[in-house]
Structure 1
């Protein structure tokens, strides 16, 4: 209090900064955080790059941020960047022993990176967070720091698979410390993220076991991503007898035509199979049981597959050979026969020409067995066999 009174009475005194620094030390010793932060801010008005005052202000804002104060977390992050720059040029005071200087420098580096990393995570700046936590695990290889580094890596786009190793390392450390609660929590989170990326949890336990004895990820560490939907569709088209597929599968393969270079020939193969089926049935047409989505006198928008019928989403556009005397109402179930001439992949739509439509009769439903008439599997067989 006496030092603060001196500063207030003699604001221009050359001893002002020294007095505030002494007050800062005193408040730090007695744990008066309010006075401590107020004094730190006084010092920073005089010397914006005072490392000790910056570090203390960062710490206090960081603590408030961890407690849920978003503005304090943001302030801690901004000040941490400035403090790290000031720390880079901070020289040892003459009166400070070398060991004390080294320890203080190391502690402040850890504290400032902790605050910077936390603030970066809160603002979803995962690339910056990654940088902070990479430095932190060298200074403080703790469960929290490894876990937050893993989280940051896995939030990048594209993600860095090293994040899985860092989460595994955090789990391994928790196990070694007999911290069962943390180990279980990290394992659940890590396995879930790993499973979503890899397709299964196979291999996770081996990564944890290896991480327990490693200081960092091996240079060749990798995790294979599960096949994308595009890759799965292409593989299915390449490995399946296309003649046996349902209409939903036709649509699935054709709708992925442009998803990769490999998908285009797979779609072309599917289209040729459809054209062959149409050509070889004797009349050059295909028949579909449909649900009307919308209709005019000379055209139909209709749904073939069960999924599209339930969603009232058209996957067939029909140009009629003869106009309707009275267009059918939406929701009407009909059978339509015509020449499938083209398709659009996205949004998917078969394009039929010379179409003929009539209301369906339950007892006259087309059967899966081949007949002399154009046809496709019964309505129930319109479900995809590839999914």
Structure 2
């Protein structure tokens, strides 16, 4: 189960957490502003610079910028040209070259949040694309993204960036850094508890309205899935965050998440009754209220004890029901049912699981037959002749025995004085008046 959910949910991300369409906008929010006046004294350099920054076609802008950087590697406008180069490669949808340009920016400006953000965003995007075909590559990309995210979270304010601008940059980049670390915890480290803590920290730091759209909405879904992977699973939180993701998901994804959320809800609660109310509640709050609970489904013990409590005459219960109670109810209630059959002789229909001359092990209930596991043991009154021992897998007929004892773990009913009654064939006698004449 766990392997399936990692492959089908985490790897095939339902929403594009960082897409080519959204990344430039987010990067622009994270970009530092500078009021410094830059003067280029060399006319040829100035002309090349103007040529690079005025290109409108992404491919042409990238080519002109690369030419400028190779021709003037120590230029005072190198940082500005690198910024433009990043935008050009993003506009051309060349993720690999955009990440390379961002890495060159970090060599020049180690605390450049924009460059860190872009590298993390691209590695995470490429990891999502590699999930189905190359899990090892996916894991490595997420490792790289997590390592860069740690640097981004620890980055200090550059001297040329205003405090308020740096704060805005951190607000734009930190959630993506937290998300990348969480995904690395999931895929590379298989540390779901750490991933949950990271994702919750991300969502707590994200304005509520932004959690209703990607990329935060995708991480809400991932958080719900992560809760299902804990040992034991935390179904209450899992259902809440899956419902939260469903509430704001695009219409074409709602049925997919609905099916997933209801699967876990039914598995825990026993039915889907009440899920719609949780869906409506999750739409009003990112995190579940402190008193939020989901009633777990009745356990076999609950069911068995309830049958005893609500049945006025326990002797009227079917043999299969009595066996279920004997195996699952409290010892007190099991003994009450046992008193209705102890020392009574009854026919035991079932399938032979094991057989010797002195003992037959029989599967009586449908579950026992399906599992090919004996739930009744019949000790014979007298040893059976070899030819009378029933074959394993056969349905024995005429087997009777007296209920002698039972055990709850393993669930077993033991009978004594077992016998296989052979059906007597009727004897046909000649009718009166039709005797053979004498010679």
Same fold (TM over 0.5): yes
Structure 1 position 172 matched with structure 2 position 172: no
- In the TM superposition, what is the alpha-carbon distance from 1:136 to its structure 2 partner? 2.9
CA distance in 2, matches of 1:209, 1:21: 49
Classify the secondary structure of the residue corresponding to 2:416. strand
Structure 1 position 161 matched with structure 2 position 224: no
Structure 2 unmatched ranges of 5 or more: 1-65, 427-439
CA distance in 2, matches of 1:45, 1:75: 22
Q: Which residue does the alignment assign to 2:61?
A: none
- In the TM superposition, what is the alpha-carbon distance from 1:342 to its structure 2 partner? 2.1
Alignment partner for residue 201 of structure 1, among 244, 265, 272? 272
Structure 1 position 325 matched with structure 2 position 385: yes
Structure 1 position 296 matched with structure 2 position 356: yes
1:42-61 alignment runs, 5 A limit? 53-61=115-123
1:211-360 alignment runs, 5 A limit? 211-240=282-311, 241-256=313-328, 263-275=330-342, 278=343, 285-305=345-365, 308=368, 312-326=372-386, 327-330=388-391, 331=394, 333-359=396-422
CA distance in 1, matches of 2:162, 2:111: 22
Q: Which residue does the alignment assign to 1:65?
A: 127
CA distance in 2, matches of 1:311, 1:194: 27
CA distance in 1, matches of 2:122, 2:253: 26
- In the TM superposition, what is the alpha-carbon distance from 1:347 to its structure 2 partner? 4.1
Classify the secondary structure of the residue corresponding to 2:418. strand
The question of whether the paired residues in 1 share the 8 Å contact of 2:227 and 2:233 is answered with no
- In the TM superposition, what is the alpha-carbon distance from 1:84 to its structure 2 partner? 4.1
Q: In terms of Rg, which structure is larger?
A: 2
TM-aligned CA distance change 1:250 to 1:151, over 3 Å: same
CA distance in 2, matches of 1:52, 1:361: 93
1:72-221 alignment runs, 5 A limit? 72-122=137-187, 125-137=191-203, 138-139=205-206, 140-141=210-211, 142=213, 143-156=217-230, 157-174=232-249, 179-221=250-292
The question of whether the paired residues in 1 share the 8 Å contact of 2:116 and 2:148 is answered with yes
- In the TM superposition, what is the alpha-carbon distance from 1:61 to its structure 2 partner? 1.4
CA distance in 1, matches of 2:380, 2:406: 16
Structure 1 position 25 matched with structure 2 position 83: yes
- In the TM superposition, what is the alpha-carbon distance from 1:340 to its structure 2 partner? 2.5
- In the TM superposition, what is the alpha-carbon distance from 1:153 to its structure 2 partner? 2.7
C-alpha RMSD of the superposition: 3.6
The question of whether the paired residues in 2 share the 8 Å contact of 1:150 and 1:167 is answered with yes
CA distance in 1, matches of 2:363, 2:237: 46
Q: How many residues align?
A: 339
- In the TM superposition, what is the alpha-carbon distance from 1:4 to its structure 2 partner? 5.3
TM-score, normalising length from structure 1? Answer: 0.73
- In the TM superposition, what is the alpha-carbon distance from 1:242 to its structure 2 partner? 1.9
TM-score, normalising length from structure 2? Answer: 0.65
